[in-house]
Amino acid sequence: MEEWTPAQGRGDDLQTDDMSKPAFSRAEPDARRQSLIEATARVLARDGATGASVRPIAVEAGVSPGLINHYFAGIEALIAATYSAVGEQVSNALAAAVAAAGTDPRARLTAYVTASFAPPIADRALLATWIAFWSLTGKPQIAERHDAIYARYREDLEALLAECGIAQADRRLTAIAITALVDGLWLELCLSPDSFTADEARGLAERQLATYFDRSASSDR
């Protein structure tokens, strides 16, 4: 079933210096998996969804193409794992921005939306990564991860809203609205950065937040 050429030693034309150096090194399974995920994220950011195939990822990770199938069930499983990893990374970046804002609830909420329009979150490369994931949400396995990641975002946001004194009954929909506005601004800001600035996006989000707190006259609607 297989044609196997004479084997030819490997590395006999490049790297002719000597044979004392190991040709490759084994890695801790978890570490190797992690480095493959990171390489995938870099390739997705650099080349987008269409460029994230087995061979370029293997080159980026400095391993042979076959190794990917040794650690993951297939390229799709690797991309799914990368989805979760990047999603968590974004969550952590937002959490760090909130933590850096101190203890005032309102300031923490502002920090959350502000961080969404600054690097490393508002970044063309990160958008490319996200689009690659979205283009796979037809597969249930990927759709599941999306739901989990977004549920986490909304949970975090609901917690911030709770700190600010938003009634529990309003938190869910308020979080959905804020997430939608921020995502919509973020998306368009990444897609065509010339149509408005990050500062304008921040201002718009902030103004919307304000309507949830200064509602002295909007109770009739």
Partner DNA sequence: TTGCTTGTTGTACGATCGTATAATAAGGAA
Partner DNA sequence: TTCCTTATTATACGATCGTACAACAAGCAA
Residues that bind DNA (CB under 7 A): 1-5, 7-11, 22-27, 29, 32, 51-56, 62-71, 74-76
Instruction: Give, as ranges, the residues between 45 and 104 that touch a second copy (CB under 8 A).
Output: 48-50
Residue 16 contacts a second copy per CB under 8 A? no
In the complex, what is the shortest distance from the CB of residue 32 to DNA, in angstroms, rounded to a whole number?
A: 4
13 contacts which partner out of a second copy, DNA, none, CB within 5 to 8 A by kind? none
Query: Which CB sits closer to DNA, 62 or 193?
Result: 62
Candidates 9, 138, 140, 165; binder of a second copy (CB under 8 A) is 138
Token pair of 198 as six digits: 């990050």
Candidates 59, 73, 96, 177; binder of a second copy (CB under 8 A) is 177
Instruction: Give, as ranges, the residues between 184 and 213 that touch a second copy (CB under 8 A).
Output: 184-185, 187-188, 191-192, 194-196, 200-201, 203-204, 207-208, 210-211
